Structure 1
């Protein structure tokens, strides 16, 4: 399983189509994370001001229609992520049937992501 952070509005924008965030056009791939801890570090580094609720898609990498490659962060991983950590990059849209679960990012009073919980 791999993780991908996305605002709810973006995820719901085209529900009948595979999910293709702006990073796919800009970087050539969809940025993902290998686990919850890394996802929270990425959220705290890059998504603190993103529209909320912020979701974490839990994607079954065996069910992806697009190619998946594990690569190091360039130029460096975000704060809180160990040097040498490899990140999953999806080289195409994420087919929605590969999304196993959708979790919501939880925040503390300082606006830091602290965990993920099932959406209710």
Structure 2
């Protein structure tokens, strides 16, 4: 099973469960707002992504662990900024049954969002 991660706020995940699908693209933007895809990361990308885009967030976050084989919407691996690094992008809503685990994600003792290893999730 190939897995990717999406950083989520707890209230947005709860709303998705009530609605039947997750539609948040990234922090503060959803597919309903005109975003074309949902941002995701591989395990080795999560810490850097969180520290770049969630640096000012003090509340704990969630990591949605997604089984890519269960996805209904199209998944593409893309380098949109020309940096040479690709990220997984989900073009459409995230079906809830593709989320195989939900992990609490909290800052480390050093104040930074930590890296996540696949072994920590298995």
Alpha-carbon distance in 2 for matches of 1:73, 1:40: 19
Aligned to 1:105: 105
Q: CA deviation at 1:13?
A: 1.8
* Superposition RMSD in Å: 2.0
Aligned to 2:8: 6
Aligned to 1:92: 92
Q: Is 1:106–1:115's contact at 8 Å kept on the other side of the alignment? A: no
Q: Which residues of structure 2 form unaligned runs of 5+?
A: none
Distance 1:50 1:23, change over 3 A: farther
Corresponding residue to 1:49 among 56, 61, 67? 56
- Deviates further, 51-60 or 87-96: 51-60
Distance 1:18 1:108, change over 3 A: same
Q: Structure 1 runs of 4+ off > 3 angstroms?
A: 115-118
TM-score after normalising by structure 2? 0.78
Count of aligned residue pairs for this structure pair: 110
Alpha-carbon distance in 2 for matches of 1:104, 1:73: 28
